[in-house]
């Protein structure tokens, strides 16, 4: 009889919530992420920007807009580097290399209800100069130019999710 009077709490494990009501605003604007790294390929900025836009579309119910969004996300690729790892015994050659990309980003909630939400929301309405970094390892015998697109795709997947989680993951 006691159990019929209890109600289990409801949780949303999906970052960004199940509905637009859980995260304020209706639209998200993702500005072009500029490449400021000397080593990143010319298409790294395009792939990263599109990766972030894709994750906003697939993991939230927000509409993606080109301008005047409730949420504005912007940033730059700050670093893109390759370092040898797993040095082989008895040799100075590395068995694997590590490609690392570091992204600096910021966001701002510019929705009409910003003033009402500033003290009550579970979401940070503004974040300046946040930094995320991710890496992927690959066989050093591989030709980097031949595997770079595949490595970049994996890096962008990881970084896009990290950026989305920082902005829309809420306070736990």
Strands 71-87 vs 94-109: parallel, antiparallel or unpaired: antiparallel
What pLDDT score was predicted for residue 6? Answer: 45
Q: What are the φ/ψ torsions at residue 123 (nearest 5 degrees)?
A: -115, 145
Q: State pLDDT tens for residues 31-56.
A: 999 999 999 988 999 999 999 999 99
pLDDT of residue 165: 94
Domain boundaries, the chain: 23-168
pLDDT classification of 126: cutoffs 50, 70, 90: confident
* pLDDT recorded at residue 172: 35
Provide the 10 A C-beta neighbour count for residue 88. Answer: 11
Distance (Å, rounded) from C-alpha 134 to C-alpha 100?
6
Q: DSSP characters for 106-125?
A: EEEE--TTHHHHTTT-SS-S
Among 40-54, 91-105, 129-143, which stretch is predicted with the lowest mean pLDDT?
91-105
Superfamily holding 23-168 = Lipoprotein like domain (3.30.160.150)
What is the value of pTM for the model shown?
A: 0.81
> What pLDDT does 42 receive?
86
Q: Which residues contact 137 (CB under 8 A, 6 or more apart)?
A: 85, 96, 97, 98, 99
Distance CA(153)–CA(159), nearest Å, equals: 10
Q: Is the pLDDT of residue 20 over 60?
A: no
């Amino acid at each position: 009889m006691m159990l019929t009077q209890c109600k289990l709490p409801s949780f949303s494990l999906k970052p960004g919530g199940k509905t637009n009501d859980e995260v304020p605003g209706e639209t998200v604007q993702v500005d072009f992420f500029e490449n400021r790294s000397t080593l990143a390929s010319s298409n790294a900025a395009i792939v990263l920007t599109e990766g972030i836009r894709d994750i906003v579309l697939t993991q939230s119910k927000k509409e993606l807009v080109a301008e005047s969004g409730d949420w504005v996300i912007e940033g730059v690729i700050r670093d893109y580097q390759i370092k040898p790892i797993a040095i082989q015994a008895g040799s100075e050659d590395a068995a694997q290399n590590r490609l690392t990309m570091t992204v600096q980003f910021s966001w701002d909630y510019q929705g009409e209800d910003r003033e009402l939400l500033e003290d009550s929301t579970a979401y940070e309405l503004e974040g300046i100069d946040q930094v995320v970094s991710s890496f992927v390892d690959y066989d050093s015998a591989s030709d980097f130019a031949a595997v770079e697109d595949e490595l970049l795709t994996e890096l962008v997947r990881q970084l896009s999710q990290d950026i989305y989680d920082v902005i829309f993951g809420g306070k736990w």
